[in-house]
Amino acid sequence: MKRLILLALLALAQPALSETLAAKLFAAKTHPTTGPALPIGTYARGCAGGNVELPETGPTWQAMRLKRNRNWGNPVLVDYLEDLSQAVTAFGWKGLYIGDLGNPRGGPMVSGHASHQMGLDADVWFLPPARLDLTAQEREKIGAISIRSEDQKTVNENWNDSYRDVLKAAASDPRVDRIFVAAAIKLQLCKGATAADTAWLQHIRPEAAHQDHFHVRLKCPAGSDLCQTQKPNVTELSKGGSGCDDTLKYWVSNAYLHPKPNPNPTPKPHKKGPKEFTMADLPAQCAAVLKGK
Ligand SMILES: [Zn+2]
């Protein structure tokens, strides 16, 4: 009897086990779908039709880690990155080294990122380019640099004011929803900030890691009806201010960085991460994006 029950349970479990992970299905698509840009879902649970390629090299940028084939995004994102890479030349940077945007058709990824799924997120390296003629091989080897101290509380000796200029330009663009940086970097930006800085500082949000790159997240472009904006929005998050407050200071406190171990932790239920998503976890329209030409 026990054996029968076990067999029945196994039979039930089988379809779930054999279902291919969405991240694998999306990674297998080497090209985007044709047609208009179509971001679908949310930044961390979605996909994208009509993505375009950030060219591997341009006059003021290079895409890094080409082997991943993640230099694809919404046309608005690609335009934004090209514009920003041009703008930073005013601050003594030759341009930008640009990390992952997303898969050709967006979707969850087999490695890294929880978000970057709708073609509206991109990572930009905190490494002023020395050259913009790196070979594909060099782009696999070179790494970004950390501009945060070892204890995670301040910026380190790599910091200089050009980083402030770059982040201010990046966050002042109306296409941007928010930009994630390590808390210590935002604290540095807050030093000496005046009321004139509130608007752009509001868009810069503290996040774990992000000491060697900043993560740009764009708003849903106009007319993208299947794209869901993130809630709460940045104004709500920072209560209308710059976000240079005690909440930000908490991020670099010992209480946050070195919490006392809890002797009786309550076990948390497992929450499915994007790497475990199947197509059933994504908006229904993503199946058409995956199948599309
Ligand atoms: Zn990112």
Q: What structural domains and CATH numbers belong to the chain? A: 21-260+277-291 (3.30.1380.10)
pLDDT at 15: 47
* DSSP helix/strand/coil, 131: coil
115 Cα–ligand 1 center, Å: 7
35 Cα–ligand 1 center, Å: 26
* DSSP helix/strand/coil, 221: coil
Q: Is 19 exposed, middle or buried (0-12, 13-18, 19+ CB in 10 A)?
A: exposed
| 3/22 Cα distance (integer angstroms) | 33
10 Å Cβ neighbour count for 205? 22
| 220/40 Cα distance (integer angstroms) | 10
DSSP code of residue 207: -
Residue with tokens 């029945």: 8
101 Cα–ligand 1 center, Å: 8
Which whole-number Å values give the CA distances from 47 to 11, 43, 107, 248, in the listed order? Answer: 31, 8, 4, 32
pLDDT along the chain (293 residues), means of 10: 52 58 97 96 98 98 97 98 98 98 97 94 98 98 97 97 98 98 98 95 96 98 96 92 94 94 88 94 97 93
| 169/193 Cα distance (integer angstroms) | 15
167 Cα–ligand 1 center, Å: 15
* DSSP helix/strand/coil, 245: coil
- pTM tops 0.85: yes
DSSP code of residue 227: B
Task: Work out whether the CA dihedral 43, 45, 51, 53 comes out positive or negative.
Answer: positive
- Read off the tokens for 203: 């868009």
116 Cα–ligand 1 center, Å: 7
| 243/247 Cα distance (integer angstroms) | 8
123 Cα–ligand 1 center, Å: 5
121 Cα–ligand 1 center, Å: 7
140 Cα–ligand 1 center, Å: 17
Burial 250-267 (b: 16+ CB within 10 A, else e): ebbeeeeeeeeeeeeeee
- Read off the tokens for 72: 């694809």
Query: Measured in whole angstroms, how far is the alpha carbon of residue 150 from the centre of its chain?
Result: 23
Q: What angle do CA 222, 178, 143 make, to 5 degrees?
A: 120
pLDDT at 265: 86
| 251/183 Cα distance (integer angstroms) | 6
